Amino acid sequence: MNSQKKIAVIGAGPGGYICAIRAAQLGMQVTCIDQWVNASNQPSPGGTCLNVGCIPSKVLLESTHLYHEAEHSAAIHGISLAKLSMDVAKMQDRKEKIVTNLAKGVQSLLKANNINFISGTASLGANKTVFVNDSSIGSFDAVVLASGSLPIELPFAKFNHTTILDSADALALKEVPATLGIIGAGVIGLELGSVWARLGSKVTILEALPDFLPSVDTAIAQQAFKSLSNQGMTITLNTKVTAVQEKNKKVQVTLANQEQPIMFDALIVAVGRKPNCKQVLRPESGITLNKNDSIPVDQYCRTSVSDIYAVGDLVRGPMLAHKASHEGVMVAELIAGEHAESDLNLVPSIIYTNPEIAWVGKTEKQLQQDQIPYTIGSFPFAALGRAIAQNSTTGMVKILSHKETGTLLGVHIFGPSASELIATATTALAFEATAEDIALTIAGHPTLSEAFHEAALDATTGALNLFRKKT
């Protein structure tokens, strides 16, 4: 019986605490261990996402977006503002309160589900034995590893946490740096760059790759590059950083093929994250790592050791909170003996810039590589009444459907509320809907979701609100 099964979940981030709750709902005895603590040295479950990732970054993005809108767009609505200012300390205080309250909420959820929550550093030994702060807390019937990830540190740009910053440092800045350099034009770099650029920092993003957002649909990426560049961020591609040095409380950055170094008041290193595996796995655990330090698992997140699972940032696939949560639920149900699965092709990706970028499924490039015939349907927000009303007309919805069957293969959005609109697209892909299915549904008017409906029409009979003939 499930009530006799004892499981340990190492990590209380979006993969770990969700897994623990689902396992408890299924009648198992659950112990969840997490090492996060706040500035007051109190337990702060929620992982990177809640403490120094998804939530605090969205708080700052929302605050700075409102400030930027007030500064640059209020007048168009007939709103007159004088002596506009931003209290950075107050903004940061609000962020900390939100994080603290949500962490308390996670603790309350664990307690309400009768989960034994332990604050400490956990590691896995032999025979599914779990240690907390080097003391054994016993052997379990199953163990789920959900310890998340860590910022990647470049060998020539070691974090000093004052001028050379990781993403957590960048979320805690108490003043707006006059000049801010960012290594990496990925999700983290663009979001953090947006936060501080809106408050007046001169932001320069240095990207080593020749293409902007190569995992994003090319047409969407091109629009996003133009829009973000127009917002004041300088994004330089094919730019390799070779050396970083602190000088007189500033940061000197040396670039390949450029004789003169660049000086910044602060530098954020945002080149990605790595699995937090090594401190969690003792040598006797029996689990070996991939070359990138991730844990090899099968499609059900099972490791090479029986009854030991790994989820989220520790394993293959995108490092996303919602992907980790979905895998956590799957693993809990598998341990309980139920059928469960997770499809990595149905994991939506989101970048919370303004406008937002969101996508799910295949890109054109992937379809071309796989030689899959496809049809494109698209619709610009500039032709949408709701978008015009809220002065958010940049971007479009683009759908890719199978040329012969009409089945949706990918949906790509750059525009207002893309993070919300992509949920409908993900549902449509999960049910193997066709472009015609979407075209036959009724979208409320006036809404932003009409763009998805019109894009589906464009892929089938032709969009109704565009001066464009269907060929």
**Cα 272 to Cα 279: distance, rounded to the nearest angstrom:** 19
- Whether the Cβ atoms of residue 242 and residue 254 lie closer than 8 Å to each other: yes
How many Cβ atoms sit within 10 Å of the Cβ of residue 80? 7
- Tokens matching residue 17: 């605490």
Give DSSP secondary structure letters for 295-348.
Answer: PP--TT-B-SSTTEEE-GGGSSS---HHHHHHHHHHHHHHHTT------GGG--
Question: For residue 196, which of 218, 209, 180, 185 has the smallest C-alpha distance?
Answer: 180
Question: Residue 343: how many CA atoms within 13 Å on its side-chain side?
Answer: 11
Annotated active-site residue 445? The verdict is: yes
Question: What's the gap between Cα 370 and its chain centre?
Answer: 26
d(CA 298, CA 319): 17
- DSSP state for residue 294 in the 8-state scheme: P
- CA dist 259 and 237 (Å) reads 17
Alpha-carbon distance of 365 to 263, in angstroms, equals 37
- Longest Cα separation, the chain: 71
Query: How many helices, marked H, and strands, marked E, lie in the chain?
Result: 13, 23
Tokens of 272: 């990605």
Candidate list 326, 412, 445, 453, residue with the active-site label: 445
Spatial distance between the Cα atoms of 261 and 334, rounded to a whole number of angstroms:
54
Helix axes 16-25, 321-335, angle to 10 degrees: 30
φ, ψ (nearest 5 deg) of residue 30: -120, 135
Q: Are 196 and 386 in contact (CB under 8 A)?
A: no
CB distance 260 to 253 below 8 Å: no
Return the bridge partners of 179, or none. Answer: 202
Catalytic (active-site) positions:
445
